[in-house]
Amino acid sequence: MSKRSLLKSIFLSAFFLGVSTAEAQTRTKADSDVVIFGKKYTNNEIQENPAVVKCASTEYEARLQAQDPGRMTDAQFEAWLAPLVEKAKMDKSQNNGIITIPVVVHVIHSGQPVGFQANISDNQVISQITAMNNDYRKVFGSRGDNTDPVGADIMIQFALAKVDPNGNPTNGIDRVNLCQTSWNPDDVDVKVKPQTIWDPNSYLNMWTVNFSVQGLLGYAQFPSGSGLAGMPGNGGAANSDGVVAGYRAFGSSDFNDGTFNLMPGSDLGRTMTHEVGHFLGLRHLWGDGGCTVDDFCNDTPNSSSAGNAQYNCNDLQDSCPSSPGLDMVRNYMNYTNDFCMNIFTNDQKARIVAVMNNSPRRASLKTSTKDVPIALFPNDAEVKIENVCAGAGCDIITNQFKLTIYNRGTSTLSSAVINYSFNGGPNQVYNWTGSLLQDKSSTVTVSIPTGTVLTSVSASIQTVNGVADQRATNNTDTKAFGAPVYPFTTVVFRLQQDIYGDETSWEIRNGAGTILYSGGPYADTSPTMPALITQTWTLPLNDCYTFKIFDSFGDGINSGYGAGYFDIKSQDGTTVIYSGGSFEDEDRTIFKLSSNLATSEALQAQFEVYPNPAKDVLNVTKVSNRALYTIYSSIGQVVAKGKVQDNKVNVSGLATGAYIITVSDGEFSGNVKFIKR
């Protein structure tokens, strides 16, 4: 482990308001310690005060600022927001309309049945939306009601989306099996969000996950004022915008139908009330500092810090005796048990109004109509191919895959005929029978020959309830399986470490487990950045390769101590195999090199993209209906990924600039550069 100087503490405190300088002397990490977005918490800290890691929104914002120099600092954001808040207080007409924000909840699980562990039930999700509406609207007679003279009805309410990004009906609950039982916050940002997010200009994205970090309940991405006169143009990462919660802190036990799995003390939905408050521009009551640090709301008396969080609803607590007023223990932006919380204030409301009127992606939510139902038909089913979780190698070797059938019609779904094929083979028929009410689903297992190396599956609904399906746009799905495959033998590896190189090491192994290349630990270069490392690897064809990079402290190489990154590309630089930098203890990827594929240039000649430059939608032509895409920034970071839907890719959430889009259909992979305007 490396020794850290006082400079480290100064650098850290520049980003983390009110964070202790206890880490100033050393940079060590015990097995029982946790690191959240670059900030270490010892096991003793967690045991003495579990609230210390209750909400990671402040740490997350510091990480975003460290990674993106164009993102506003806290001081810049507050300087921009302050006059807008005053305007909101003066202009009462802005408060006359109720805003409804469409919500999508991405339930991230590892294959459990609905209602078990991380794959929480529909009703648990719905209870969370109800709890937030009670809190934000100060609904009379609910837990969100209060008689405090500064208590405010925020006049914002939330509704699960009724229309998905493809224009099809949805219940606003997106269940995704990502084949991993638990997640650290960095992996949520790098691996979960980009491949599941819906357009953040139209939806408030919420994710429920099983956190691997002890005590962490949730975190949110703060709004940005960028794009306005006099402010930096970068509005923050669109592909990470939203709110995340542990699945046991999502929902309210007030509405428990027996299927809920909630944590005592955090079982009334207030984690999301709190985190959405951050999403809408609110700070912790202690200003993420102490008695001398402001949350920029005059009607919330100063309080000292998260370390003074208390859970007995003590309304007489005064942690800042030199400042007027008692602690507002019951405020939603405080740290306390869910049953203690029940107030937003008028100044907090003014702050939210200013953000909703002026912060770009927040303002667009005011006019989104994704919560407005579209015309429904009696007989309408949707099919989805589930991920296959099978081992850590390049090939998926299995004897089955799973399909999920959703009833999107108004009639009870009792039967469906589904055509399916795998690995490009002939169509086969699956006859489903059951009883599904509207928006309910059934997951079925389709058997295939034992030992099949599964590369792709296609499925298409033929009939529902004995008649033709009345909506064709949600009848088909395709999915590619296995590691990505590339047709070249020479790859280039680049590594830009942060200033603490002795924490960094890496290796690449072949399918037999033999280490072919490796590096690190390196020398510390604090306070200056080390030189870029570039290596050329020659890797034999027709083999599987596993690359791993490690950080012994647990904060990756891009956490505020230098903009570290790594990437693995083709020799000509046009194909990005993998890239990253933001992780905790370890990041990895698996890929395959094969001589049986056409060259990427061949696919490049097959598919085209237009318009180029693109503003909202990038059209992708001449690809199969199973094509997948990954979009990389100019420095090789993954910014979006998903399936090419109807030959279109939504790029509206990307910042202006140059990108590379990689398109793969399971047999070919190629790249095209495009400009987002």
Q: Quote the pLDDT of residue 17.
A: 28
Over 90: is that where the pLDDT of 346 sits?
A: yes
Give the Cα separation of 201 and 241 in Å (integer). 10
Per the model's pLDDT, the better-predicted residue between 42 and 510 turns out to be 510
Question: Do 150 and 183 fall within a single domain?
Answer: yes
Name, in order, each residue with C-beta under 8 angstroms of 412's C-beta and a sequence gap of 6 or more: 435, 436, 437
Higher-confidence residue of 82 and 477: namely: 477
User: What's the confidence (pLDDT) of residue 7?
Assistant: 29
- Range scoring the smallest mean pLDDT among 72-81, 140-149, 397-406, 649-658: 72-81
Q: Which tens digits make up the pLDDT trace of 501-543?
A: 999 999 999 999 999 999 999 999 999 999 999 999 999 998 9
Other beta carbons less than 10 A from residue 543's beta carbon: 15
Catalytic site residue from 45, 61, 275, 382: 275
Tell whether pTM > 0.75. Answer: yes
Terminal-residue alpha carbon distance, the chain: 45
The pLDDT value recorded for residue 47 is 59
The answer to whether position 568 is within a domain reads yes
Ranges 270-279, 411-420, 459-468, 474-483: which has the least confidence = 474-483
Q: Does 543 reside within a domain? A: yes
The mean pLDDT value of the chain amounts to 83
Task: Please indicate whether residue 459 or residue 614 has the higher confidence score (pLDDT).
Answer: 459
pLDDT at 434: 98
Q: Residues 605, 586: one domain?
A: no
Regarding whether 539 and 604 lie in a shared domain, the answer is no
Question: What CATH number does the domain containing 440 carry?
Answer: 2.60.40.10
Is residue 68's pLDDT more than 80?
A: no
Predicted confidence at residue 671, as pLDDT, reads 74
Q: How far apart are CA 553 and CA 595, in angstroms?
A: 40
User: So what's the pLDDT on residue 230?
Assistant: 30
The answer on 494 and 444 residing in a single domain is no
Residue with more model confidence, 382 or 72: 382
Indicate whether 430 and 575 sit together in one domain. no
Domain termination residue (choose one: 538, 561, 593)? 593
pLDDT of residue 601 exceeding 50: no
Q: Do residues 572 and 672 share a domain?
A: no
Query: Cα–Cα distance between 149 and 105 in angstroms, integer?
Result: 34
Q: What confidence category does residue 364 fall into, taking pLDDT thresholds of 50, 70 and 90?
A: very high
pLDDT of 227 reads 35
Q: What is the pLDDT of residue 390?
A: 75
| Domain co-membership, 478 together with 490 | no
**275 has catalytic annotation:** yes
Q: Determine, yes or no, domain membership for 530.
A: yes
* Residue 299, domain member (yes or no): no
Q: How confident is the model at residue 73 (pLDDT cuts 50, 70, 90)?
A: low
Q: Are residues 175 and 227 in the same domain?
A: yes
Residue with the bigger pLDDT between 628 and 458: it is: 458
Number of H helices, E strands in the chain: 11, 32
| Residues forming beta bridges with residue 567, ordered by sequence position | 494, 579
Q: Is 581 exposed, middle or buried (0-12, 13-18, 19+ CB in 10 A)?
A: buried
- Which range among 52-61, 94-103, 532-541, 586-595 shows the weakest confidence by mean pLDDT? 52-61
Q: How does pLDDT run across 183-230, given as a tens digit for each residue? A: 988 889 888 998 899 999 999 999 999 998 888 999 999 887 733 333
Residues 96 and 161 in one domain: yes
pLDDT at residue 14, as a whole number: 27
Same domain flag for 494 and 467: no
Do 355 and 459 lie in one domain? The reply is no
Whole-number pLDDT of residue 662: 82
Q: How would residue 615 be classed by pLDDT, with cut points 50, 70 and 90?
A: confident
Structure-token pair, residue 70: 């164009």
Q: Could you tell me if residue 339 is inside a domain?
A: no
Q: Which residues pair with 413 in a beta bridge?
A: 436
Using CA atoms, how far residue 110 sits from 119, 193, 439, 538, in Å, is 8, 16, 21, 36
Question: What pLDDT, on a 0 to 100 scale, did the predictor assign at position 636?
Answer: 65
Same domain, residue pair 397 and 523: no
Residue 23: pLDDT band by 50, 70, 90 thresholds?
Answer: very low
Number of independent structural domains in the chain: 4
pLDDT band at 650 (very low <50, low <70, confident <90, very high): confident
Q: Is 549 in contact with 519 (CB distance < 8 Å)?
A: no
Q: Which residue has the higher pLDDT, 238 or 500?
A: 500
> Residue 266: which pLDDT band, with cuts at 50, 70 and 90?
very high
Residue 614, domain CATH: 2.60.40.3080
CA 301 to chain centre: 33
- Answer whether residue 270 is part of any domain: yes
* Domain limit, last residue, from 427, 458, 482: 482
pLDDT higher than threshold 50 for residue 556: yes
Any idea what DSSP says for residue 72?
Answer: P
pLDDT of residue 98: 92
Distance CA 203, CA 331 (A): 26
Comparing C-alpha atoms, which of 135, 127, 126 is closest to residue 156? 135
| Domain end point (choices 547, 568, 593) | 593
* Domain containing residue 97: 72-288+344-367
pLDDT given at position 45? 61
Cβ-based neighbour number of residue 631 at 10 Å: 22
- The pLDDT value recorded for residue 305 is 67
Structure confidence at residue 451 (pLDDT): 92
Lowest mean pLDDT among 88-92, 441-445, 580-584, 673-677: 88-92
Indicate the pairing of strand 34-36 with strand 39-41: antiparallel
Out of 87-96, 250-259, 345-354, 667-676, the most confident range is 250-259
Can you give the pLDDT at residue 186?
Answer: 84
Give me the CATH number covering residue 237: 3.40.390.10
- Return the percentage of the chain with pLDDT > 70, whole number: 79
CATH number of domain containing 494: 2.60.60
Please give the pLDDT value at position 445: 97
Q: pLDDT at position 237, please?
A: 74
207 inside domain:
yes
Least confident of 75-89, 164-178, 375-389, 446-460: 75-89
Q: Does some domain include residue 76? A: yes
pLDDT > 60? residue 605: no
